[in-house]
């Protein structure tokens, strides 16, 4: 594990204690069973805001603490262990990052304080198909005097049901597949012509599909420059992937701990099943995978904080390796638990479902394996 500062250690301990006491997996189960359309509890979100987590990435002049990406990753890891549902990642990590990366001073002043104090939920609206493909953006933005009219749809928008604003990737020139010609727009959730519908997913969160029908925005809504949004988008995505990797590490680590506990307590043939050598070897193998994934996740977050030139490489490496671990570990958890692992009575299924969604978000293992190879010149 990375050497942490005293402040980072305190924040990590705070997140671990709070998640265990105030947001255990049972809380997620209760939220799911309630049919909550937003996909999170208001009190959970309010507590996170009160603890200052929403301002971890935001500069002090905009109401944040600017403690860095590794610090935020430590929080996300602890939340991942308990499957805590909230807009923290979508808004305070991804949304804030996009604004910091590409926003003007006036945009930062208008948006970042609201993210920091929790009054605004700003989330990225990017995907248009079943697979992650940023360059294949087709949602059209046509310039009309001093305004743009947006037409098209977005799918799988994280926290799309609770968002107050969206950062929408749109095409202002070129065709699908071109990296040039993509522009990012800040669009209010209550804009005329914008509608959203809840997307039911395996992990019972607040995703939404968006439809934009002649949604009119002015030039001040452009994040960065017209036709040049791809660079901001990719810089944001690479940081988002690293952050998501931290949550995935927490989810996979808890799946490992649950499985290990079961190996130590389940008795079969008169013996604790963990005493069987074959199962012990499997546990040791997964422990090794977990620690390798941790090294990749923390290296990516540290690279971001250090302003390293290879953040793209480290981000894809991290997302791929932690994705491999989480996929295999969630499967193993179900297999080791046997029949009860397939029932809704056990929490194991929640981890399996969340794992599959996290793997696909912002590019699955295959996507990042291929991207890493290209970045390395293969």
- Closest residue by Cα to residue 219 from 97, 335, 107: 107
Euclidean distance between CA atoms 295 and 206, whole angstroms:
30
If pLDDT is split at 50, 70 and 90, which confidence band does 286 have?
Answer: confident
Tell me which of 1.10.10.10, 3.30.2290.10, 3.40.50.1820, 1.20.140.10 is the CATH number of domain 230-375.
1.20.140.10
Q: Looking at the predicted structure, is the pLDDT value of residue 169 above 70?
A: yes
Residue 341 CB contacts under 8 Å (≥ 6 apart), including other chains:
333, 334, 335, 348, 349
Euclidean distance between CA atoms 40 and 30, whole angstroms:
10
Q: Looking at the predicted structure, is the pLDDT value of residue 253 above 70?
A: yes
DSSP state of 181: T
Q: Is the dihedral of CA 189, 149, 101, 134 positive or negative?
A: positive
If pLDDT is split at 50, 70 and 90, which confidence band does 306 have?
Answer: very high
Q: What is the pLDDT of residues 39-50, one digit of tens each?
A: 999 999 999 999
* pLDDT of the residue at 199: 94
Tell me which of 1.10.540.10, 1.10.260.40, 3.60.20.10, 1.10.3720.10 is the CATH number of domain 6-120.
1.10.540.10
How confident is the model over 130-139, as a mean pLDDT?
96
Q: What is the pLDDT of residues 332-349, one digit of tens each?
A: 999 888 878 888 988 999
Q: What is the pLDDT of residues 7-35, one digit of tens each?
A: 999 999 999 999 999 999 999 999 999 98
* pLDDT of the residue at 279: 75
Q: DSSP characters for 345-361? A: TSTHHHHHHHHHHHHHT
Quickly name the fold that domain 123-227 has.
Answer: Butyryl-CoA Dehydrogenase, subunit A; domain 2 (2.40.110)
Taking each helix axis from N to C end, the angle separating 311-337 and 277-306, rounded to the nearest 10 degrees, works out to 160
Helix (H) or strand (E) run with residue 149 in it: strand 147-157
Euclidean distance between CA atoms 16 and 77, whole angstroms:
9
Per mean pLDDT, which range of 15-19, 143-147, 222-226, 290-294 is the poorest? 143-147
Give the residue extent of every domain in the chain.
6-120, 123-227, 230-375
Euclidean distance between CA atoms 29 and 47, whole angstroms:
19
* pLDDT of the residue at 261: 87
């Amino acid at each position: 594990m990375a050497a942490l500062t005293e402040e980072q250690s305190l924040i990590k301990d705070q997140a671990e204690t709070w998640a265990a006491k105030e947001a255990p997996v049972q809380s997620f189960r209760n939220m799911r069973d309630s049919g909550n359309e937003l996909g999170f509890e208001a009190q959970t979100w309010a507590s996170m805001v009160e603890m200052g987590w929403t301002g971890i990435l935001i500069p002090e002049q905009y109401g944040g603490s600017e403690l860095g990406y590794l610090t935020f990753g430590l929080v996300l890891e602890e939340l991942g262990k308990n499957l805590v549902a909230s807009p923290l990642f979508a808004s305070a990590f991804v949304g804030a990052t996009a604004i910091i990366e590409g926003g003007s001073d006036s945009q930062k002043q208008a948006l970042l304080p609201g993210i920091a104090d929790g009054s605004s939920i700003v989330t990225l609206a990017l995907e248009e198909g079943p697979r992650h493909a940023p360059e294949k953006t087709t949602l059209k933005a046509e310039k009309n005097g001093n305004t743009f009219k947006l037409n098209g749809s977005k799918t799988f928008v994280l926290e799309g049901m609770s968002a107050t604003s969206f950062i929408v990737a749109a095409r202002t020139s070129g065709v699908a597949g071109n990296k040039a010609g993509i522009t990012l727009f800040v669009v209010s959730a209550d804009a005329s012509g914008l509608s959203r519908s809840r997307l039911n997913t395996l992990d019972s969160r607040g995703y939404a599909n968006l439809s934009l029908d002649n949604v009119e925005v002015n030039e001040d809504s452009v994040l960065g420059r017209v036709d040049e949004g791809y660079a901001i988008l990719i810089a944001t995505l690479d940081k988002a992937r690293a952050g998501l990797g931290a949550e995935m590490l927490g989810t996979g680590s808890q799946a490992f701990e649950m499985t290990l506990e079961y190996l130590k307590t389940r008795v079969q043939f008169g013996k604790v099943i963990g005493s069987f050598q074959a199962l012990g070897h499997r546990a040791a193998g997964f422990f090794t995978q977990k620690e390798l994934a941790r090294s990749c996740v923390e290296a990516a977050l540290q690279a971001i904080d250090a302003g390293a030139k290879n953040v793209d490489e480290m981000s894809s490496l991290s997302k791929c390796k932690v994705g491999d671990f989480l996929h295999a570990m969630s499967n193993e958890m179900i297999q080791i638990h046997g029949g009860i692992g397939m029932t809704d009575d056990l929490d194991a299924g929640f981890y399996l479902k969340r794992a599959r969604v996290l793997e696909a978000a912002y590019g699955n293992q295959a996507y990042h394996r291929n991207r890493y190879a290209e970045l390395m010149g293969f």
